[in-house]
């Protein structure tokens, strides 16, 4: 299969989340020596007319595409009729018509990162679970439309991987994505997403496989789950409470910290490899 020759980071920047991704993740990476060495291209509202047409044109000759945007969540009562749109990539935040959605048909009917790798942290870009992993931690009243009757792979992911002119591998997000401005609870100054995304992309550019390049995502998921379980044990008296501070934290603070660790671990776990985990960028 013919593979594209260029690497791109693309995103609309038309709402708080995508502007945050742009400022806190994309721009710092694009200013790094790695991105400059590999002549990364960029497609943002700030630099060009970002829309479906310009994105599809860019994807024709891309071997790697990082796409920061929202994934469309369809209300539960509409899922039977709009199943194909669940997880479609939303290219303009306040417009949900076909002109601003990247759907299965779009990626199947064009050259879309041919023979390469796609990365997107967008909600549901990989698929949707029958019951959100976040339902016990975020609050069920805030995620009613995220509950579905069954777990399924998104149609846009199926379209990408099923197309003879599409990518060989992709790292996409299952379930809701909590990516934007995700700070390490143990160090508020450390932007975890910036570190993980840069590490992942750099590993790919160094010639590692897609599977190996996701090592830090898996490491963070395991480490943060362990921390959440440890705090849970402290709360219930199963393990000793060891405070590094002269002042003991309150039960509410401990519970909040436990929830933070658990939500971040869950988000990291839900980055799923689609296609061939052994694919490399050539």
Q: What is the pLDDT of residues 38-68, one digit of tens each?
A: 889 999 987 667 889 999 999 999 999 999 9
Distance CA 50, CA 44 (A): 6
pLDDT tens digits for 220-237? 889 988 888 888 887 777
pLDDT at residue number 244:
46
Residues 6+ apart with CB under 8 A from 245: none
User: pTM to 2 decimals?
Assistant: 0.87
The answer to whether the CB of 108 falls within 8 A of the CB of 159 is yes
Kind plus residue range of the DSSP H or E element containing 217:
helix 215-236
Within 10 angstroms of residue 78's Cβ, the number of other Cβ atoms is 12
Determine the Cα angle at 148 with ends 147 and 154, to 5°. Answer: 110
Q: Coil, strand, or helix at residue 90?
A: strand
Q: Assign domain 6-216+270-275 to a CATH class.
A: alpha beta
pLDDT at residue number 148:
61
Sites in the chain below the pLDDT cut of 70: 1-2, 47-48, 76, 79, 133-149, 179-190, 239-249
DSSP 155-187: HHHHHHHH-TTS-SEEEEEBS----TT-EETTE
């Amino acid at each position: 299969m013919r593979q594209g020759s260029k690497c791109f980071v693309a995103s609309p920047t038309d709402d708080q989340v995508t502007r945050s991704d742009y400022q806190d993740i994309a721009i710092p990476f694009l200013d790094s020596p790695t991105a400059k060495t590999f002549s990364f291209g960029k497609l943002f509202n700030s630099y060009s007319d970002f829309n479906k047409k310009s994105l599809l044109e860019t994807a024709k000759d891309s071997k790697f595409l990082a796409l920061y945007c929202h994934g469309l969540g369809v209300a539960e009562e509409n899922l039977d009729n709009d199943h194909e749109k669940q997880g479609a990539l939303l290219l303009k935040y306040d417009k949900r018509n076909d002109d601003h959605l990247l759907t299965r048909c779009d990626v199947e009917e064009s050259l879309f990162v041919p023979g390469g790798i796609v990365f997107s942290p967008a909600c549901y870009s990989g698929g949707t679970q029958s019951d959100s992993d976040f339902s016990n931690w975020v609050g069920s009243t805030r995620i009613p439309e995220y509950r579905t009757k069954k777990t399924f792979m998104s149609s846009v992911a199926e379209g990408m991987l099923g197309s003879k002119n599409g990518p060989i591998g992709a790292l996409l997000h299952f379930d809701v994505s909590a990516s934007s401005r995700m700070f390490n609870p143990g160090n508020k100054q450390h932007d975890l997403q910036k570190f993980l995304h840069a590490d992942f992309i750099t590993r790919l550019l160094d010639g590692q496989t897609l599977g190996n390049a996701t090592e830090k995502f898996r490491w963070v998921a395991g480490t943060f789950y362990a921390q959440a379980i440890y705090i849970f044990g402290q709360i219930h008296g199963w393990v000793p409470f060891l405070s590094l501070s002269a002042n003991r934290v309150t039960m509410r603070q401990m519970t909040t910290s436990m929830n933070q660790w658990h939500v971040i671990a869950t988000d990291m776990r839900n980055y799923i490899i689609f296609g061939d985990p052994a694919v490399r960028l050539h």
